[in-house]
């Protein structure tokens, strides 16, 4: 590999010049500031443009990440956390020229249950995706936990707060991309917003947010918890838990040390799903402003933004939560019953699946294993199908939907009873298959066919970003309610019509909006 060399400074029109490096394959700019530090009076306020600078800024190291509890996600060596965390990173093929041949832009929103993760995770190194996909890749940090999803609006006192800070950060980053990415070789009129898990939840939420109109031209949502959006009453309940934990009123909250807010976030993050199964502590809030209503409800009412959408889930989503012993997804029969009881009390008119319907939908699956499938479908698969159907029906060929299910796994993940668990598709999308000597994914084989799976996925995702059909081996037709074509991604890809017929029959068309 060619030794990295500096590239001429690029002028960030928001703030000032930045200098990255070129390793002969990609140009890279890291730690580019897209918003002012959200500290002091800007804590719990919408992000503001950065202060301008005149000296050339070093963009060769990642910026600080959002403060967070000890993460189960590898965040990379030398990671530093700070409230001043609103930075993004850019990878562009080395031959990219800001003057000619602007390339499609892919803007990544990371996952992590709205409390963990960072744009600088080694898994999200954009070198392979940018060079092989011939795209400009952008990854971004956003505020999380109590910093990004604490809703203090409407509390007593003179203090001013904004809601949905994490979502507003993503919007601010998209504005930065619109105004600046041409200088880095990207096409601001061809932006694909893509993400996984909580990042995908942000995307399906923004797909129904009027304020996001015009900021991206396509969207990819991988394993979106699309129904995990709460009303203000539930969000304020979480806010009170945080305030009680740190022992202050809302008027005093800006004086609370960062470490205390991180500890309170961790405590409430564990407390909420243990007391109300199936519920996240931190998630987007239906505030009537940025988020006017439940996203799946809006999509099914034809009110999603008219952009092409690639969306899907993994076959064994819930297996990761069982393996981690996480309370985030109810898997045991007792917790599933508690979740259903809560749904029934909050939405008495909602028709939940009966025991007979559950039995029919999951026939052939051992009773003890059914909880994994129910959790998968209530948390991820059915919200995805509902959103896909609504978006497709509303926009048709003008903004087609491509639905997938990721089934591929390796012998080691199968041995660990993980299979195609939550987040296992990520290395294949990014083309980063072996993440160091401690990565056990391919220890029992599977690297050769896994590389072929990655080649197809990366090519399909990049083709979609280019505005082309997403692959032809086999061709992947749009999802419509006529045939419900779904791409099953495995050792060999296959298009299956109405893959979800059994669970659709059990769950019906009603939306579990409480989530």
Q: Do the domain assignments include residue 515?
A: no
Q: What average pLDDT does the chain have?
A: 91
pLDDT of residue 178: 97
The residue among 462, 460, 464 whose CA lies nearest residue 493 is 460
Q: Do the domain assignments include residue 513?
A: no
Q: Do the domain assignments include residue 326?
A: yes
Residue 193 confidence class, pLDDT cut points 50, 70, 90? very high
Q: Do the domain assignments include residue 512?
A: no
Distance CA 403, CA 497 (A): 11
With vertex at residue 280, the alpha carbon angle to CA 44 and CA 338, rounded to the nearest 5 degrees, is 150
CATH of the domain at 69: 3.40.50.1820
Lowest mean pLDDT among 204-213, 343-352, 381-390: 343-352
Share of the chain above pLDDT 90, in %: 74
pLDDT of residue 514: 44
Q: Do the domain assignments include residue 502?
A: yes
pLDDT in tens, 265-281: 999 999 999 988 888 99
Q: Do the domain assignments include residue 266?
A: yes
Rounded mean pLDDT, 454-483: 96
Distance CA 495, CA 14 (A): 45
Angle between helices 198-206 and 165-180 (to 10 degrees): 70
pLDDT of residue 372: 87
Is residue 478 pLDDT above 90, yes or no? Answer: yes
pLDDT of residue 515: 43
Measure the CA dihedral 85/91/92/93, to 10°.
170
Q: Do the domain assignments include residue 514?
A: no
Number of independent structural domains in the chain: 1
Share of the chain above pLDDT 70, in %: 93
Lowest mean pLDDT among 66-75, 135-144, 203-212, 490-499: 66-75
End-to-end CA distance of the chain: 48
pLDDT of residue 349: 58
pLDDT of residue 444: 96
Rounded mean pLDDT, 210-215: 98
Distance CA 60, CA 147 (A): 26
pLDDT in tens, 87-126: 999 999 998 886 667 999 999 999 999 999 999 999 999 9
pLDDT in tens, 281-335: 999 999 999 999 999 999 999 999 999 999 999 999 999 988 888 888 877 777 7
4's tokens: 């990295």
Distance CA 32, CA 88 (A): 5
Q: Which domain holds residue 232?
A: 5-507
How many C-beta atoms lie closer than 10 Å to residue 506's C-beta? Answer: 20
- For 52-121, give the DSSP string: P--SPEE-BSPPPBPP-SSPSS---TT--B-S---EEEEEEETT--SSS-PEEEEEEE--STTTS--TT-
Rounded mean pLDDT, 194-202: 98
Catalytic residues: 197, 317, 422
Which phi-psi region, left, alpha or beta, contains residue 104 (left: φ > 0; alpha: ψ -120 to 50)? beta
More confident residue, 458 or 355: 458
Is residue 347 pLDDT above 60, yes or no? Answer: no
Q: Which residue has the tokens 């409800």?
A: 297
More confident residue, 504 or 98: 504
């Amino acid at each position: 590999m060619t030794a990295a060399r500096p590239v001429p400074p690029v002028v960030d029109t928001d703030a000032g010049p930045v200098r990255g490096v070129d390793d002969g394959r990609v140009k890279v700019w890291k730690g580019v500031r897209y918003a002012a530090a959200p500290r002091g009076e800007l804590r719990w306020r919408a992000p503001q443009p950065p202060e301008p600078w005149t000296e050339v800024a070093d963009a060769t190291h990642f910026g600080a990440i959002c403060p967070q509890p000890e993460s189960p996600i590898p965040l990379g060596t030398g990671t530093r956390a700070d409230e001043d965390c609103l930075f993004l990173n850019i990878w562009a093929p080395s031959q990219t020229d800001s003057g000619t041949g602007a390339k499609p832009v892919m803007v990544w929103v990371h996952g992590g249950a709205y409390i963990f993760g960072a744009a600088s995770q080694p898994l999200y190194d954009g070198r392979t995706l940018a060079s092989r996909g011939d795209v400009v890749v952008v990854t971004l940090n956003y505020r999380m936990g109590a910093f990004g999803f604490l809703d203090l609006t409407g509390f007593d006192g003179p203090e001013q707060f904004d809601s949905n800070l994490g979502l507003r950060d993503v919007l601010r980053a998209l504005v930065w991309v619109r105004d600046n990415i041409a200088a880095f070789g990207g096409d601001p009129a061809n932006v694909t917003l893509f993400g996984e898990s909580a990042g995908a939840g942000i995307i399906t939420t923004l797909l129904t947010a009027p304020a996001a109109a015009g900021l991206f031209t396509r969207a990819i949502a991988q394993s979106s918890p699309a129904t995990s959006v709460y009303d203000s009453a539930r969000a304020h309940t979480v806010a009170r838990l945080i305030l009680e934990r740190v022992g202050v009123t809302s008027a005093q909250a800006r004086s609370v040390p960062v470490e205390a807010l991180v500890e309170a976030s961790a405590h409430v993050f564990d407390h909420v799903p243990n007391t109300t199964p199936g519920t996240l502590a931190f998630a987007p809030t239906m505030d009537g402003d940025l988020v006017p209503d439940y996203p799946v409800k809006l999509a099914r009412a034809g009110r999603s933004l008219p952009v092409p959408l690639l969306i899907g889930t993994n076959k064994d989503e819930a297996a990761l939560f069982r393996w981690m012993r996480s309370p985030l997804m109810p898997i045991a029969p007792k917790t599933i019953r508690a979740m259903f009881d809560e749904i029934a009390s909050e939405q008495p008119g909602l028709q939940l699946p009966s025991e007979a319907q559950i039995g029919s939908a999951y026939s052939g699956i051992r009773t003890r294993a059914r909880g994994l499938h129910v959790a998968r479908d209530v948390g991820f698969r059915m919200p995805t199908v509902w959103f896909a159907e609504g978006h497709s029906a509303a926009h048709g060929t003008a903004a087609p939907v491509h639905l997938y299910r990721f089934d591929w796994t390796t012998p080691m993940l199968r041995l660990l009873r993980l299979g195609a668990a939550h987040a296992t598709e990520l290395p294949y999308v990014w083309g980063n298959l072996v993440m160091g000597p401690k990565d056990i994914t391919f220890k029992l084989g599977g690297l050769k066919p896994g590389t072929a799976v990655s080649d197809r996925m990366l090519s399909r995702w990049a083709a979609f970003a280019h505005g082309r059909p997403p692959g032809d081996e086999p061709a992947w037709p749009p999802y419509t309610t006529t045939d419900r074509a779904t791409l099953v991604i495995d050792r060999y890809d296959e298009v299956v019509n109405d893959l979800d017929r059994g669970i659709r029959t059990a769950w019906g068309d009603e939306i579990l909006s409480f989530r």
